[in-house]
Structure 1
Amino acid sequence: MNLELTYPEPPTPAFLFDLDGTLIDSVYQHVIAWRSALSGLGIDLPVWRIHRRIGMSGGLFVTALLRETGLSLSQEQIEDLQWAHAEAYTEQLDSVRPLPGAAELLAELTARKVPWAIATSGRAVTASPALGMLGLPDDTPMVTRDLVRHAKPDPDLFLAGAALLRIDPRFAMVVGDSVWDLLAARRAGALGVGLLSGGYGREELERAAAFRVYADPADMLGRLHELGVRRLGG
């Protein structure tokens, strides 16, 4: 007797993308902007210490760095510091470029009818210009720091991104370049995919539970089949 088994249709894969260091080559501009903002308060930190915290929310970023130095700032000073960073970063926008393959990756996912959104720890004032760089419309699904209570490594951004796409975060893959992205992905119940384009090493990303690690968006685009993304009709 032939027994034909039937299975429920698997959920459509979906992607939640970090922005800085994942889709646009902006990590080091953010590092320099933070260094400039900190210097304005007489706080001198080496750039490597600053880089290790990029990807966190601005407030948590400042708190973590201050804890390392033993310094303390008022809440008002922390807010001023974040706006000083935003201004210093904006002054460097002309040097920010999309990462190789980023626009093409998003276009390919759209063509394959794969849902995706951007979820970034950056505020809208620093994140919004990236849409134009990537050739994306203003109504692109994007969650910024302004829209959630907590940013990475808390899961709020990715949970909000999943809600924006109307999907269960367990069926999403978070693509990010830092350990903070991957920690937030785990807390959201999503799979994490790491990119090396933000300066973290492969081993660091894998230890933070990256399911796959790619060099940059172009590398990921060429290997979408590894993530279960099929061609239309495939």
Structure 2
Amino acid sequence: MVRNSFLFDLDGTLVDSVYQHVLAWHEALRSEDIALSIWRIHRKIGMSGGLFADQLLREIDRPIDATMIQRLRARHAEAYHRLADDVVPLPGARELLETLTTMGVPWAIATSGRIETAGVNLRALGVDPDQNVVVTRDQVRFAKPDPDLFVEAARRLGVPIDHAIVVGDSVWDMLAAARCRALGVGLLSGGYGREELERSWALRVYDDPADLLHHLDEVSSRAYAADHPLG
């Protein structure tokens, strides 16, 4: 029997970092005299940098070239590092990963963040990218909502993508999961609503990693549920 594997987003899924990213992008945009409301920035967290730029072009009346994108990215990373002390694992995140490891369930992290910011989150979570499968934006051609991150994570785990469960907090995660025929499980811990995630083909929606851990038998293989009852 082919067993399930889990492919996790990082920001808003395993670590409480979405709003730090929002504030860091807000600061970076203001440095280029780009006025964009914080709520609009939040709606774009998790998508690729190129798509983020395309979305910006639709909302502001000025050109954005590749040089500006590079400046924005650098300033975002600088601002994000200043907020790094506030980044902590979401409730149940470490316990969820530890439980999957104990159960022998393969898992990986696939994030649209580049290593310059993802490294902060991985350290907060206690995950060593040299010991675990971690795929960042630097390592694939396209980020979410394209499925490249999750496909590469599954490849590195040596598992079929169509037997993987993608866990994420944004519609971009769920769309990427659907595009690679993985099952999408949504978490509310990144700020998106239940209906939004369900409309993006989330099979189940839970509050946060702790809630997913409590209901793991609803989404994991029945063989696991039988062998490792969660009470």
- Report the TM-score range of the alignment, normalised by the length of the smaller protein: over 0.9
1:118 aligns with 2:112: no
Task: For 2:68, give the aligned amino acid.
Answer: Q
TM-score by length of 2: 0.94
Query: In structure 1, how many angstroms separate the alpha carbons of the residues matched to 2:73 and 2:114?
Result: 10
TM-score by length of 1: 0.93
What displacement does 1:203 show? Answer: 0.3
Segment drifting more, 128-137 vs 16-25: 128-137
1:19 aligns with 2:13: no
Segment drifting more, 102-111 vs 55-64: 55-64
Counterparts of residues 1-234 of structure 1 (less than 5 Å): 9=1, 11-139=2-130, 140-229=132-221, 230-231=224-225, 233-234=227-228
- Which consecutive residues of structure 1, in runs of 5 or more, have no partner in the other structure? 1-8
Query: In structure 2, how many angstroms separate the alpha carbons of the residues matched to 1:233 and 1:154?
Result: 35
Cα distance per residue 1:109-165 (max 9 Å; x no partner): 000000000000000011012222122234221000000000001111011111110
Q: Is the 8 A contact 1:23 1:99 kept in 2?
A: yes
Q: Is the 8 A contact 2:53 2:64 kept in 1?
A: no
What displacement does 1:22 show? Answer: 0.2
- Following TM superposition, the consecutive aligned residue runs of length 4 or more in structure 1 with deviations greater than 6 angstroms are none
Query: In structure 1, how many angstroms separate the alpha carbons of the residues matched to 2:122 and 2:69?
Result: 28
Segment drifting more, 127-136 vs 13-22: 127-136
Query: In structure 1, how many angstroms separate the alpha carbons of the residues matched to 2:216 and 2:126?
Result: 21
RMSD in angstroms over aligned alpha carbons?
A: 1.2
- Which consecutive residues of structure 2, in runs of 5 or more, have no partner in the other structure? none
Task: For 1:58, give the aligned amino acid.
Answer: G
SS at the partner of 2:179?
Answer: helix
Cα distance per residue 1:174-223 (max 9 Å; x no partner): 00000000001111110100000000000000000000000000000001
Query: In structure 2, how many angstroms separate the alpha carbons of the residues matched to 1:53 and 1:201?
Result: 14
Q: Is the 8 A contact 2:166 2:184 kept in 1?
A: yes
SS at the partner of 1:128?
Answer: helix
Task: For 2:133, give the aligned amino acid.
Answer: P
Query: In structure 2, how many angstroms separate the alpha carbons of the residues matched to 1:178 and 1:105?
Result: 19
Query: In structure 2, how many angstroms separate the alpha carbons of the residues matched to 1:194 and 1:52?
Result: 16
Q: Which has the larger radius of gyration?
A: 1
Query: In structure 2, how many angstroms separate the alpha carbons of the residues matched to 1:217 and 1:203?
Result: 19
Query: In structure 2, how many angstroms separate the alpha carbons of the residues matched to 1:63 and 1:117?
Result: 29
Query: In structure 2, how many angstroms separate the alpha carbons of the residues matched to 1:55 and 1:137?
Result: 22
Q: Is the 8 A contact 1:15 1:174 kept in 2?
A: yes
